[in-house]
Amino acid sequence: MFTTGAVASLAGTVAYGVLAEGTMGTIGLVSATVALATLAGIVIFTRDANVFADEPDTFDGAAANAARPGASMWPFALGLAVTTMTLGLVTYPAIFILGAILFVAGIAEWILQAWSERASADASHNAEVRSRLAYTAEMPVAAAIGLGIVIYSFSRVMLGVPSKTSTIVAFSIVATIVLILGAIVGAKRSITAPKITALFAVSGVVLIGGGAVSGLNGERHIHEHETTAYIAAKDECGAEKTYADKHASQTVAGKAGNAEVRLTAAGTLVHRKPGDETDRSSALQLPRSNANNLLFRNDSDEERRLVIDLAPDYEGSPPRICTTLVDPGGVQLITVNFAVPSFAPEITDIGGYRFYVPGVSSAELEVVVP
């Protein structure tokens, strides 16, 4: 066939070149002639399917006598993998990674199938050889990939619903459906394996499809979890209530600190050392390069927070530390680690270390760090 095609293409090339004198057409026909001639040469050299009657020893080794390759899903899987990788390049990295994993797996499986089909002339033996070699790796890897896809799709759905309440409602409905289907499957003892496989396949497609849609739509807005360190970095340690102050603890259970700092009803800050029952308004001395655990007690009639300014931009040290708003009569723990002493230039520039309470001008307490 290739020999006849090469001769016909050559004749057509010559005829077209002489009669039409078209450059582009002639180049195209020459290219086709060269390609067909190359294929014809390969066929003639390998004697593909050419078995002569006077050479019976070549019958068994002829290509025409070889069993045809078995059906394979891996070319389709490779096409799907390339499509998924292309989609991932313009959408999300996770989709590209999924396509790359599918591509590598498809290549490996296709090579393994081609090798096993040539192991012997017995198809059942070839299948057994492949299963012995492949199943020990395929099953764990397939389970891990499938579980990862399910978990990722599940997370996209959970993050894609409008609110936490919607998440609870949606998955309560899903759990009810799963329970009902499980009861039906359990009641019908005669249900076949293909039906169960189809049920799980449909469930997987629904879950993965929902995850894909939710992932493309994006995650819902989730409010950033604010802490005292967060509001201190944002310079929001004021008298106003912030998100970090919601449901803040107002008691300290069985913790002893280096000292107790108290906001009195008169609006002043005093301190006392452990074991000392005397309130002092003089400077509070605390060690450097150690964690100082201090108890802040609010004896005023309004919510207040305790703040202290530290060395600005010093080796990762936060410029400010504060507590959440403490209710009247409440107490909170604040941990302070002084990186530099009080006489350092950067500290004297800010007026020295001092505790203060926003909104109460008279509530200041000097801190001395040797």
pLDDT in tens, 201-252: 777 777 777 777 766 666 666 666 677 777 777 777 878 888 777 777 777 7
Residue 357 has what pLDDT? 93
b/e sequence 318-351, b meaning 16+ C-beta within 10 Å: bebbbbbbbbeebbbebebebbbebebeebeeee
Query: Above 70 in pLDDT, residue 359?
Result: yes
Residue with tokens 């020459």: 30
In angstroms, the CA 2 to CA 236 distance is 82
Taking CA atoms, 90 is separated from 19, 83, 155, 220, in Å, by 50, 11, 21, 21
- Quick: pLDDT tens for 104-153: 888 888 888 888 877 776 777 777 877 777 777 778 877 887 788 778 77
Taking CA atoms, 279 is separated from 105, 245, 264, 308, 361, in Å, by 73, 28, 10, 20, 20
Q: How many CA atoms lie within 13 A of 13 on its CB side?
A: 17
**Which residue type occupies 227?**
T
Nearest CA-CA partner of 317 in 233, 245, 226: 233
In angstroms, the CA 367 to CA 292 distance is 12
In angstroms, the CA 22 to CA 11 distance is 15
Residue 147 has what pLDDT? 82
Mean pLDDT value of segment 51-77: 64
Confidence class of residue 62 from pLDDT cuts 50, 70 and 90? low
Query: Above 80 in pLDDT, residue 262?
Result: yes
The pTM (predicted TM-score) of the whole model is 0.47
Residues 6+ apart with CB under 8 A from 96: 84, 85, 87, 88, 89
- Quick: pLDDT tens for 69-83: 667 788 888 888 888
